[in-house]
Structure 1
């Protein structure tokens, strides 16, 4: 039996669930991707001095506030936001996540804006008691301590759009290791990851595709435990990640020698 064309099936599924509506002078793209409150993520598009302005309507910032995350009141959280959206070409302006584009690059910039929104939605973990930092900062600190040579936040062109890769590690002889982080492993984040790997599998066939997921959670501040608690992921989420990745690594194993050898060149 022939293997299904998963890329085509996924794109067909996505196309069926994307909807564009007009609200006055603004076009609104409704997506099947969900925010932390299980509402569909929307992207707003409006004309601006001959170009196009894409933004999230301020909903990402509002969601963070609803989760108790005050970005403006913490320099550390401002740094977390900067890390999360680095390389996406977007900015916070008036509590709105936005980017400028032209008709020719509209799809690419919309994809980057969705990437930034997805990253910021993971900031719920920084509101938990005793949470030391966001996942990107934790991994970056680990790599620096282990003297791993890497390039962070690298856009790599796929079959249709460019994709932000959290860390790229050169393996020599024209090969490299692409590492994508998942701070909150869910079925949705796994599907987004699979789309990235499907795109890059054709464009970068010699690259190793590695997923590093955060399977730990810091205990409550009043709990007796002193160590992070390992949390499981669903069987379906794990199956999708393993199907499209060369390696799937769990952060809970970062003290193991095998973990470092799988990360470093």
Structure 2
């Protein structure tokens, strides 16, 4: 039986061994995290001191800059910006309209939880819009929502689950269970080859399953490009059901239970 001190020590060890804090200038700290982006580079955050003992955690505009380097200019589309802000709300993350930073304001007590939410939001946003210009006419998460609606599948949007370590893990959709029918927690994955986002989904599932034992986990994958076999193997090994979007109708009965 795990004890509370053991759980606390696990979180403390993770932060001590995997996250590096370094001062940049007075009141600003750079935070190198163990989470990797699609370039296999560490996700970097910045903590900026605010009045009244608050902290502004920000990506420094990295996500927008990275997408623009691939020719994806989110700010030029009101539709894309609207969807982005709606999704960021689920992570309690805001967007600075002027410098395009993803940020979150937190107290010192809430700092670990809010940092985790910002990292999740960064990984999600990068995957959500990692499209070529030819594919930018639609947003994948909207297509998934439309599919659920068209099949009368009773989903709710964006639940946040407190995992075993006390961190909050965001899911895109939830389908409630009843009696012997398990709850279903669903993530979406826009890029079929984004191995690092897949690993993030798997990590969230591990943290969630102990506190939601009667739950099935799904990831719906945009398979316009072929899905990396390593990602399918990862999800299968972690007990996550991968659903290629092209085969979504094969899963309607399973999801609609």
| TM-score class normalised by the smaller sequence | 0.7 to 0.9
Deviations 1:144-177 (A, max 9, x none): 1111111111101111211101111012238411
- After superposition, the CA RMSD in angstroms is 2.4
Which of residues 153, 172, 178 is equivalent to 1:172? 178
Matches within 5 A, 1:76-155: 76-93=79-96, 94=98, 95-155=100-160
Which of residues 221, 234, 238 is equivalent to 2:232? 238
For the residue of structure 1 that corresponds to 2:75, the secondary structure is coil
Alignment CA distance shift 1:195-1:206 (3 Å)? same
Which of residues 55, 77, 98 is equivalent to 1:74? 77
In structure 2, what is the Cα distance between the partners aligned to 1:13 and 1:131?
Answer: 38
Alpha-carbon distance, 1:23 to partner = 0.9
In structure 2, what is the Cα distance between the partners aligned to 1:240 and 1:130?
Answer: 26
Gaps spanning 5+ residues in structure 1: where?
1-7, 218-230
1:181 aligns with 2:198: no
Which of residues 47, 57, 61 is equivalent to 1:58? 61
Aligned length: 242
TM-score normalised by length of structure 1: 0.83
- Give the match for residue 41 of structure 1: 43
Deviations 1:204-237 (A, max 9, x none): 11111122222224xxxxxxxxxxxxx13133x2
Deviations 1:3-61 (A, max 9, x none): xxxxx99x978864421111112111112333344432111112111211110011111
TM-score normalised by length of structure 2: 0.85
Greater shift in the superposed pair: 152-161 or 120-129 = 120-129
Normalized per residue, which structure has more strand?
1
Gaps spanning 5+ residues in structure 2: where?
1-8
* Structure 1 contact 87–153 (Cα < 8 Å) conserved: yes
For the residue of structure 1 that corresponds to 2:174, the secondary structure is strand
